[in-house]
A = this chain, B = another copy of it.
Amino acid sequence: MPNISIIYFSGTGHTTKLAEAAQKGAASVAGVTTRLIVISGEDIVKGRYHNEAVFAELDSSDAIIFGSPTYMGGPAAQFKAFADATGGKWFAGAWRDKLAAGFTISQGASGDKLSTLHYLFTLAMQLGMVWIGLPELPMNDQGINRLSSYSGVMAQAGQESPDIAPNAADKRTAELLGQRVAQYAVKLKK
């Protein structure tokens, strides 16, 4: 049974909401298991991330969805510390052929969020993964993909409580990404 892991960093709880939505979407597909894995600052010592249990979980996943807020035009340093720790997986080709996808969030409409998604893609490519994007057109009544992003999910949140932002449309967009990744995981596992 294919497993979909969502690994993310959240500074204020907003990214957590997107991660949960992506998991919900993945879990809606019959025949998959899902895992929600948070990157904890506690696991980062002098800028280096260490957590063998997390890597064991990811090693056994068929798909990994990466999530991070966009801070100063790129992924959060905490996410990047995790990414840097995948160097051994790169060298061993250990994650080759796993599926990958990504989501990010920041206050502004654009806010250089594409820079973060392009980074998540670049990371996945170094790891030999296959990238699943977001093929939803923004022209719809539900606000799905309202920011018009295709490489992955973009959402918005500022100082509001995570109960309010990201909004329902942004969470629904993340759900659709999770669902799409899970559907591909099922198809490729056969």
Residues of A whose CB lies within 8 Å of any CB of B are 41-42, 44, 46-49, 71-78, 80-81, 83-84, 86-87, 90-91, 93, 96-97, 106-115, 118-119, 121-135, 137-138, 146-151, 154, 184, 187-188, 190
Contacts and interface: CB of A to CB of B under 8 A. Distances in A.
Given A110-B113, A138-B108, A188-B188, A123 B41 contact: no
A109 B147 contact: yes
Contacts of A86: 72
B47 A108 contact: no
Contacts of A44: 44, 46-47, 77
Contacts of A115: 114, 118-119, 122
A75 B71 contact: no
Contacts of A126: 72-73, 112, 150
Contacts of A147: 108-110
Contact of A121 (B77, B87, B151): B151
Given A114-B110, A114-B114, A119 B47 contact: no
A147 B124 CA distance: 18
Contacts of A130: 130-133, 184
A109 B131 CA distance: 23
A122 B109 contact: no
B83 A74 contact: yes
A182 B187 CA distance: 16
Nearest to A78: B47
Contact of A110 (B90, B124, B131, B154): B154
Nearest to A73: B122
